Amino acid sequence: MQILLVEDDRPLAAGLKQALAKVGYAVNHVEKGEMALTAIRAERPDLVILDIGLPDIDGIAVLKKLRADDAELPVLLLTARDSVDDKVAGLDSGADDYLAKPFEMTELLARLRVLERRLSSVKSSEISIGDVVLDTAKQSVTLAGEELDLSRREYMLLKSLLENAGRVQTRAVLEQRLYSWGEEVTSNALEVHIHHLRKKLGNDLIKTIRGVGYKVNGGQP
Ligand code: CA
């Protein structure tokens, strides 16, 4: 697995490179945004760890540019500022996950494992998290083997959350999905659907990330 690390803090980058190499990742490191875009085009990394605060163009701008030609490349954002605005801006721009500095190496490795699993997961028609199984071919959802009765909107919302297990989906992203399914989105439409889903699935599956959005935790431990 080839990782491109975009980080201008040299001591931090050196530490990360060493730690990631130790667990078997191949890491290339660049310090600037423009260099990152060049490296992504030239090297086609499997995953990008991208610092937001860079000396030339910031990480969000890099992310927007790279998303213009690659919607799939997993990107983990590093932010020095633990602000909700940065997280939302990052996720809205297409980041898969974010980590606020300072962070523990074990936390970074856990996030990478989630992204890696998503990357390698074969496109099967079944998505299962715990005892919830969603079958995209049959458009059905079972909880501990029992088929659930979900509305079309609840099904699509759950599918979106499960397909993105391990990463936060912002309110804006989920509301856009509701719009694109032909729903007129009132201010609390999303909450209402989430509430109904929780009643059917239990309260533990869908986590509220305050001020940001919703998340289902990653698949197998
Ligand atoms: Ca920085």
Alpha-carbon span 171 to 88, nearest angstrom:
9
* Confidence (pLDDT) at 40: 93
Shared domain for 92 and 167, answered yes or no, is no
Shared domain for 26 and 94, answered yes or no, is yes
Quote the domain boundaries for residue 184.
126-216
What's the chain's average pLDDT? Answer: 88
Ligand 1 centre from 7 Cα, in Å? Answer: 6
Q: What is the pTM of this model?
A: 0.61
Give ion ligand 1 contacts, CB < 5 A.
8, 51, 53
Alpha-carbon span 25 to 59, nearest angstrom:
22
Structure tokens, 19: 């730690």
Ligand 1 centre from 131 Cα, in Å? Answer: 41
Ligand 1 centre from 12 Cα, in Å? Answer: 9
Per the domain annotation, does 221 fall within a domain? no
- How many domains does the chain fold into? 2
CATH number of the domain at 170, please. 1.10.10.10
Per the domain annotation, does 136 fall within a domain? yes
* Confidence (pLDDT) at 122: 47
CATH number of the domain at 71, please. 3.40.50.2300
Structure tokens, 185: 């989105």
- Across-strand partners of 143? 132, 146
Shared domain for 167 and 210, answered yes or no, is yes
Ligand 1 centre from 46 Cα, in Å? Answer: 22
Ligand 1 centre from 52 Cα, in Å? Answer: 6
* Confidence (pLDDT) at 220: 45
Shared domain for 60 and 135, answered yes or no, is no
Is residue 214 helix, strand or coil?
strand
* Confidence (pLDDT) at 92: 87
Average pLDDT over residues 159-175: 88
Per the domain annotation, does 35 fall within a domain? yes
Ligand 1 centre from 17 Cα, in Å? Answer: 15
Ligand 1 centre from 28 Cα, in Å? Answer: 17
8 Å CB contact between 115 and 74 = yes
Ligand 1 centre from 4 Cα, in Å? Answer: 15
- Please write the tens of the pLDDT for every residue from 82-136: 677 888 888 888 899 999 999 999 999 999 988 887 776 545 678 889 899 998 8
In what helix (H) or strand (E) does residue 108 lie, and over which residues does it extend? helix 105-120
Alpha-carbon span 100 to 93, nearest angstrom:
17
- Please write the tens of the pLDDT for every residue from 7-35: 999 999 999 999 998 888 889 999 999 99
Torsion of CA 20, 23, 28, 33, to 10 degrees: -40
